[in-house]
C-alpha cells in the first residue's frame, strides 16, 4: 500500500519487461555489480544447465536495495556487500539458502566464512563471492618513504595530490580508524571528531572519486589515493610505480556475497547458479576477469602465476586481515546521520 503510486508508475514502465518474462524454459534473474563476472561464465552456465540468465547490474548497494524491496522484477540471485546483506536479513528480504543444492560450497575458505558471520550469523543467507580490503594506493616516485599510515591523507605536504574516496562509510571508516575508534562507531562525539577531521581534509583533496581513482592513479594525476585491494592489483599491472598498503591503524575488510531474495521465483535455479560460480575452475575464470580476491580455496590452488598466487595484495597474510573490520549495518537513522555529516564535511 505504501508504495502504491510508485508501483503504478513502475508497472507501466516494466510492463513490457514482465510480458517478455512469460514461461518459455527455465530462467534465472541475476542482479550483480557492473563488470563483476566474466561474460563467458554466463554462456558456459547457460550451455551446461539450459537455464537462461537474465542479467542486470548495479553500481551501489543503496541503489540495489530499493529494487529488491519494490520487487518490480523478481530477481533470483543478487550480490550485495556485507553490511547490506545484514540490512536485508534484518528487514526480512532474504530467504535461507538450501546448501544441499550447493555442493561446491565446500571450496569456500573457512577464514572468510568466519568473517562473514559478522553480518550473516551461521552463514545461512549468503555465499561469499569476492573479498578485499580498503587501503592506500601511492606513487613511489611522488611520496617520501614507505607509507604505512592513514596520516598521509591528512598531511598538508600533499595538498592537491590526494584522491579521497567518495563513499560515506568508507570515508568515515578512514577518519574513525585513524583517530583510533571503531569504524562501526555510533558514538556522536566520535563521529563529530571524525567529521571535523574530514572537513579539515577537504582543502587538501584534489577530487572525491570512486571508480575514477584507477585511471587517475595510473595516469599520475595524484600521489595518493584510497582504493579497494582488487582495483590495486589492476593499477599496479598498468603502472609499476604504484604501491598498495593496508595502513597499520587498521581498515575495512569487505565481502560481497550471493544471496537469494524472498520474492525469488526460481530458487533452485538460483542455487544452481551459485553452485556453478563456486566451481573452482569457474571461480578462477572470474578471479582473472575481475581481479578481486576470491574466497574460493579451490580456485586459489589452481592459480598458475606464482606472483599472483603469493601476492600480498590479492591474498594478504592473516595478520593483515586480523587488523581489519567488516562494516555493520547501523540502522536507518544512523545512516542518515553519517550522510548528513559527510555532506557537511565536503564543503568549505
Q: Contact between 243 and another protein (CB under 8 A)?
A: no
34, 66, 121, 312: residue in contact with another protein (rule CB under 8 A): 66
Q: Which is nearer to another protein, 273 or 338 (CB)?
A: 338
For position 63 contacting another protein by CB under 8 A, the verdict is yes
User: Taking CB under 8 A as the criterion, which residues in 9-28 touch another protein?
Assistant: 9, 12
Query: Rule CB under 8 A: is residue 241 a binding residue for another protein?
Result: no
User: Which x/- pattern over 140-179 shows residues binding another protein (rule: CB under 8 A)?
Assistant: --------------------------x-------------
Q: Does 233 bind another protein (CB under 8 A)?
A: no
Counting contacts by CB under 8 A, is residue 344 touching another protein? yes
Q: Which stretch binds another protein (CB under 8 A): 3-11, 32-40, 110-118, 266-274?
A: 3-11
CA distance 26 to 273: 12
Report helix angle 61-70 to 82-90, nearest 10: 30
Q: Choose the stretch contacting another protein; rule: CB under 8 A; options: 261-269, 278-286, 293-301, 331-339.
A: 331-339
What are 331's three cell numbers? Answer: 540502522
Count, residues near another protein per rule CB under 8 A: 32
State phi, psi for 311 to the nearest 5 degrees: -65, 125
Q: Could you tell me which stretch among 44-52, 104-112, 273-281, 338-346 binds another protein (CB under 8 A)? A: 338-346
Give the Cα separation of 71 and 91 in Å (integer): 14
Beta strands per DSSP E along the chain: 27-33, 52-58, 77-78, 94-95, 126-139, 162-165, 205-209, 224-228, 242-245, 251-261, 324-325
Given 62, 118, 193, 243, the residue binding another protein (CB under 8 A): 62
Residue 206 within binding range of another protein, rule CB under 8 A: yes
- The three three-digit cell numbers of residue 11, written as one number: 508497472
Count the neighbouring beta carbons within 10 Å of the beta carbon of residue 104.
18
With b for 16 or more beta-carbon neighbours within 10 A and e for fewer, the 276-285 pattern comes to bbbbbebbbb
Among 90, 151, 220, 238, binds another protein (CB under 8 A): 220
Q: For residue 111, give the nearest of 300, 274, 276, 347 by alpha carbon.
A: 300
Of 69 and 74, CB closest to another protein: 69
Helix (H) or strand (E) holding 308, with range, is helix 306-309
Binding status of residue 65 toward another protein by CB under 8 A: yes
**Chain position carrying cell 565481502:** 255
Rounded distance between C-alpha atoms, residue 286 and residue 41, angstroms:
8
Residues near another protein (CB under 8 A) are 1-2, 5-6, 8-9, 12, 60, 62-63, 65-66, 69, 166, 202, 205-209, 216, 219-221, 335-336, 339-340, 343-344, 346-347
Amino acid at each position: 500500500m505504501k508504495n502504491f503510486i510508485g508501483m503504478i508508475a513502475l508497472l507501466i514502465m516494466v510492463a513490457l519487461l514482465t510480458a517478455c518474462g512469460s514461461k518459455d524454459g527455465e530462467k534465472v534473474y541475476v542482479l550483480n555489480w557492473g563488470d563483476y563476472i566474466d561474460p563467458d561464465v554466463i554462456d558456459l552456465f547457460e550451455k551446461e544447465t539450459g537455464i537462461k540468465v537474465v542479467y542486470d547490474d548495479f553500481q551501489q548497494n543503496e541503489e540495489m536495495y530499493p529494487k529488491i524491496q519494490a520487487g518490480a522484477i523478481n530477481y533470483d540471485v543478487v550480490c550485495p556487500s556485507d553490511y547490506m546483506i545484514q540490512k536485508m536479513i534484518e528487514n526480512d528480504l532474504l530467504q535461507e539458502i538450501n546448501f544441499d543444492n550447493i555442493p561446491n560450497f565446500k571450496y569456500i575458505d573457512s577464514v572468510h566464512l568466519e568473517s562473514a558471520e559478522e553480518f550473516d550469523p551461521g552463514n545461512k543467507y549468503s555465499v561469499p563471492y569476492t573479498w578485499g580490503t580498503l587501503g592506500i594506493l601511492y606513487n613511489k616516485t611522488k611520496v617520501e618513504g614507505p607509507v604505512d599510515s592513514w596520516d598521509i591523507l591528512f598531511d598538508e605536504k600533499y595538498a592537491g595530490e590526494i584522491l579521497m574516496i567518495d563513499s560515506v562509510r568508507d570515508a568515515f571508516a578512514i577518519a574513525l580508524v585513524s583517530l583510533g575508534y571503531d569504524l562501526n562507531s555510533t558514538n556522536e562525539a566520535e563521529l563529530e571528531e571524525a567529521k571535523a577531521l574530514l572537513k579539515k581534509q577537504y582543502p587538501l583533496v584534489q577530487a572525491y572519486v570512486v571508480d575514477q581513482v584507477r585511471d587517475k592513479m595510473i595516469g599520475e594525476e595524484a600521489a595518493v589515493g584510497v582504493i579497494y585491494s582488487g582495483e590495486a592489483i589492476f593499477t599496479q599491472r598498468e603502472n609499476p610505480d604504484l604501491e598498495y598498503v593496508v595502513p597499520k591503524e587498521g581498515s575495512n575488510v569487505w565481502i560481497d556475497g550471493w544471496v537469494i531474495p524472498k520474492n525469488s521465483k526460481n530458487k533452485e535455479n538460483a542455487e544452481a547458479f551459485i553452485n556453478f560460480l563456486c566451481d573452482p575452475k569457474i571461480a578462477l575464470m572470474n578471479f582473472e576477469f575481475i581481479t578481486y580476491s576470491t574466497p574460493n580455496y579451490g580456485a586459489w590452488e589452481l592459480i598458475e602465476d606464482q606472483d599472483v598466487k603469493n601476492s600480498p595484495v590479492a591474498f594478504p597474510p592473516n595478520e593483515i586481515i586480523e587488523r581489519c573490520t567488516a562494516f555493520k549495518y547501523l540502522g536507518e537513522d544512523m545512516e542518515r546521520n553519517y550522510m548528513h555529516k559527510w555532506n557537511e564535511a565536503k564543503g568549505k
